[in-house]
Amino acid sequence: MTQVQLAIASGVSLSTIAHFETGQRQPAPDNLAALRRALEAAGIEFLDENGGGAGVRLKK
């Protein structure tokens, strides 16, 4: 997923996403929630930390 696609799907501005990715800005909780919802809708599953660290995978 490109930054543009994520921005459209999440409603978070493209510049905000770019700043998150470069470490220039810390994400606000509402932006994180919007990004997570968009990624989950696209088929990403977030995994809890289970001794090996948190992660993501594509849903089956």
24-41 pLDDT, tens digit each: 999 899 999 999 999 999
Domain encompassing residue 44: 3-58
Phi, psi of 52 (to 5 degrees): -105, 0
Predicted pLDDT of residue 10 = 98
Q: pTM to 2 decimals?
A: 0.81
- With a cut of 70, list the residues of the chain below it in pLDDT: 51-53, 55-56, 58
Strands (E), 1-60: 44-47, 55-58
Task: Say if strands 55-58 and 44-47 run parallel, antiparallel, or are unpaired.
Answer: antiparallel
18 contacts 59 by C-beta, under 8 angstroms: no
Predicted pLDDT of residue 47 = 80
Predicted pLDDT of residue 51 = 61
- The CATH number linked to 31 is 1.10.260.40
Predicted pLDDT of residue 53 = 66
Query: Domains in the chain: how many in total?
Result: 1
